[in-house]
Structure 1
Amino acid sequence: MSDHLAVDVDVAVVGAGIIGVACALQLARQGLRVQVFDPDGIGQGASFGNAGHLATEQVFPIADFSILKRLPAMLLDPMGPLRLDWTYLPRATPWFLRLLLNLRAAPFARTVAGLRGLNEASLSAWRRTLQAIGRPELLREDGSLLAYEHEQSRPALQALQARMTAQGVPVDYWDAQAVRAALPTLSDGLRGGLFFPATGHFIDPYRVVAELAHAAQALGVVFHQRRVVDGHLLPGGVALRFDGGVLRARQVLLACGAHSAALTARLTGRRVPLDTERGYHLMLPREQGRLPFALTSFERRFIMTPMQDGLRLAGTVEFAGLNKPANMARAWQLQRLSEGLFRDELNLEGASPWMGMRPSLPDSLPVIDQVEQGRVLLAFGHQHLGLTQAAITAEYIAELVRGQALPELAAYRLGRFAG
């Protein structure tokens, strides 16, 4: 890369979610001049309202071939756990076809290996990151529980335990007595579950982003609440046009989540099959102390995470694109899903709904790469594991900038997408 280009910064980061901010911090720690652009501000996208679960146990993609049998229900049930807006079906069909192709044995095995590789490194990376900024208390390493209610679910849960054990995921089976001992607020209807000791939860996902951003600013990182609308490659760097001017950088990092496809195509000529899993949450501020750690319902398919400001109910996947207005009835449906799980029903006073866009690729793996002679860095497509994988992704991006080859990133390269 030419050293004669007059640049404004070393690295321009597009996206101020958890991925972009974590990367900006790591790059600034290397002494680089970094500026971050996001039209919504710091941590205001999917990073604001995610479930807060450090989901290291999730080494399998959320979809399997049963999605074909469930497609009619997906189209007809607006409140189902997996929802496809029928008006979006024509645009979503190519993405779903690629997803199904990736469920064949060989690509599925590559996906599992890729998810496992990132997830196994995620917890220790988060420890290093939070310790470095003096905020280790933001992460609680108390584990998490996947609980079931119906006896007919037990064989499927045991099969899942065997599959996870085969992948090296720490997991223990808890019977009903163990569940009641650890979570006495739950109803007697729960028959048991799988406990994952090597997981945890963040007490406030937005605060995590804000604290990382504060640490980055202390190292000189500048954040702009502006939209990058275009960009092109220069002989020794990149020029970015934003709503207010032009910035020249030696390198650009695209970490704008579900909005990353257009700039990736503009700067690399490569079209990535990026779509969005729209996720919802319902925050209950009157529910501090209800649970000691994150609880997922096996049958009802949603998660409840204890946080500093209450209990967050989250989950469901909706495919409806980037522009469709949020259907907040899906957020309120999470409360209905919670009914009967506790001895006393949840307090809804002050409850607030939310929707965010999870960036998803059809092989369930993110893009973590450096292309165009090092000028373009890529970190997006982490689907529902963005919070989990943010710290390790940031460390990998920093190593790429230092010139490390990192063969372990082969599964996440941009080149895996043809065309």
Structure 2
Amino acid sequence: MPNNVSHDIAVVGAGIIGVACALRLARQGQRVVVIDQQEPGHGASFGNAGHLATEQVFPIADVSILKRLPAMLMDPMGPLRLDWKYLPRALPWFTRLLLNLRPEPFRRTVAGLRALNESSLDAWQRLLTEIERPDLLKVDGSLLVFERGESRQAIEALQARLRQQHVPVDFWHAGAIRDAAPQLSEQIQGGLFFPRTGHFIDPYRVVGELVEAAKACGVSFVKQQVQGGAVLEHGVSLATASGSLSARRVLIACGAHSAKLTAALTGRTVPLDTERGYHLMLPTEHNRLPFAVTSLERKFIMTPMSEGLRLAGTVEFAGLERPPSMARAWQLHRLSQGLFRKDLSAEAATPWMGFRPSLPDSLPVIDQVCDGKVLLAFGHQHLGLTQAAVTAEMVVEMALSTALNQVNDSPALSPYRLARF
């Protein structure tokens, strides 16, 4: 590889994390190219719930997953599903997941999630202000509601756990909820309000605005599938269907598809799997909610957006190859029935499924390896949108330290190192 390569950094992945990182790197004077087989924002970034979920500092699973395993295998419409055909491949990952639920690993996971989430809102406000689009994020809180009297104890216990983690949270009685969201059903008895959260009015548009800002800074976008690569003396060579592309460094940020390229470049096997997430977009439903609302018992979220109301949630473990089960997306509409004074309309609704990249300790990989030639930013599970802006700032810090021949051994990065696997 010649010393005069045309790119300082090749970013593999044009989702929200890859694009945010590319923009931040370009604004630091780096020559950046972004490579993806899809158009920017067409993966998981397109269909997420749009919720800035800074309150979600606990992993998606807890020890009760053992009791729920039979239902996960048998109920195709359950909120947490494991495809029985995928079970043999999923068992090693689930074994690691269970081991990470022991007290000390669980504590490390919560600390790592909290550290990222505490910085996420400010990082997003900085990024959107810089591109002059702060209007894309509504910082007006979010709400977790419950309907059954027996759920109050669980809600109060959750509130106590969140306060122990310094998450801002308030208990709202039914009257306060009706005042803020009068279209919700009277059967809602109360809930938890999270003031330091918000929602994006159009997640796909957020990616598009970041892409335009990145292009204005000189970032180029290449629609190609990266088939492999190698770390060389002066940088990294990536193989695509149309030939090779070289750069001094590469950033792997292609979500659930990151494991293969990471192994090719670093020789490390990453236990990366995917939570298949679904949404149902209701284009005729406007002005139903002022902010995102999640149901404790029904286990899904409803987010108001410029294009309507998005119902999202459910986790399915079935890998990257099996076709989507869109009945799970339509199930979200059935789950919404009874949550409003007047049921939501599914007229012209559109279903969607995407792959959330998940590691068994619920933490992402944010690291630099191979003498700084390989940067990593993937595995954010269902918090990719939330943590994208702060991840981009961390990647820039790593990249600049490498450019200055400095070793970035910041303790802040230790929970997210590749070497933990």
Short-chain TM bin: over 0.9
Identify the residue that residue 100 of structure 2 maps to in structure 1. 102
Identify the residue that residue 220 of structure 1 maps to in structure 2. 218
Q: Which amino acid letter does the alignment assign opposite residue 54 of structure 1?
A: L
Distance in structure 2 (CA, Å) of the matches to 1:63 and 1:116: 16
- The SS at the match of 2:8 is strand
Distance in structure 2 (CA, Å) of the matches to 1:92 and 1:6: 44
Q: TM-score, normalised by structure 1?
A: 0.98
Distance in structure 2 (CA, Å) of the matches to 1:267 and 1:147: 46
Identify the residue that residue 406 of structure 1 maps to in structure 2. 410
Per-residue deviation, 1:41:
1.2
Per-residue deviation, 1:176:
0.7
Are 1:347 and 2:345 an aligned pair?
yes
Distance in structure 2 (CA, Å) of the matches to 1:151 and 1:118: 34
Conserved in 2, the CA contact under 8 Å of 1:278 and 1:319?
yes
- The SS at the match of 1:9 is coil
Identify the residue that residue 39 of structure 1 maps to in structure 2. 37
- The SS at the match of 2:236 is strand
Per-residue deviation, 1:349:
1.1
Identify the residue that residue 69 of structure 2 maps to in structure 1. 71
Cα deviations by residue, 1:324-368 (Å, 9 ceiling, x for unpaired): 000000000000000000000111111000000000000000000
Q: Which amino acid letter does the alignment assign opposite residue 412 of structure 1?
A: Y
Per-residue deviation, 1:407:
2.2
Identify the residue that residue 122 of structure 1 maps to in structure 2. 120
Per-residue deviation, 1:406:
2.7
Distance in structure 1 (CA, Å) of the matches to 2:81 and 2:371: 40
Cα deviations by residue, 1:383-414 (Å, 9 ceiling, x for unpaired): 00000000000000000011044320100000
Cα deviations by residue, 1:302-345 (Å, 9 ceiling, x for unpaired): 00000000000000000000010000000000000000000001
The count of corresponding residues between Structure 1 and Structure 2 is 415
Per-residue deviation, 1:6:
3.1
Are 1:331 and 2:329 an aligned pair?
yes
Task: Give me the identity figure in percent.
Answer: 70
RMSD: 0.8
- The SS at the match of 1:261 is helix
Conserved in 2, the CA contact under 8 Å of 1:173 and 1:192?
yes
Distance in structure 2 (CA, Å) of the matches to 1:237 and 1:287: 51
Q: Where do 1:219-298 residues align within 5 Å?
A: 219-298=217-296
Unmatched segments (≥5 aa) in structure 1: none
Cα deviations by residue, 1:173-195 (Å, 9 ceiling, x for unpaired): 00111111111001110000000
Distance in structure 1 (CA, Å) of the matches to 2:223 and 2:328: 29
Conserved in 2, the CA contact under 8 Å of 1:17 and 1:44?
yes
Unmatched segments (≥5 aa) in structure 2: 402-407
Distance in structure 2 (CA, Å) of the matches to 1:245 and 1:137: 41
Cα deviations by residue, 1:235-288 (Å, 9 ceiling, x for unpaired): 020000111111110000000000000000010000000000000000000011
Identify the residue that residue 404 of structure 2 maps to in structure 1. none
Q: TM-score, normalised by structure 2?
A: 0.98
Distance in structure 1 (CA, Å) of the matches to 2:57 and 2:122: 17
Distance in structure 1 (CA, Å) of the matches to 2:382 and 2:71: 22
Q: Where do 1:131-150 residues align within 5 Å?
A: 131-150=129-148
- The SS at the match of 1:126 is helix
- The SS at the match of 1:42 is coil
- The SS at the match of 1:402 is helix
Identify the residue that residue 188 of structure 1 maps to in structure 2. 186
Distance in structure 2 (CA, Å) of the matches to 1:399 and 1:405: 11
Distance in structure 1 (CA, Å) of the matches to 2:411 and 2:157: 33
- The SS at the match of 1:211 is helix
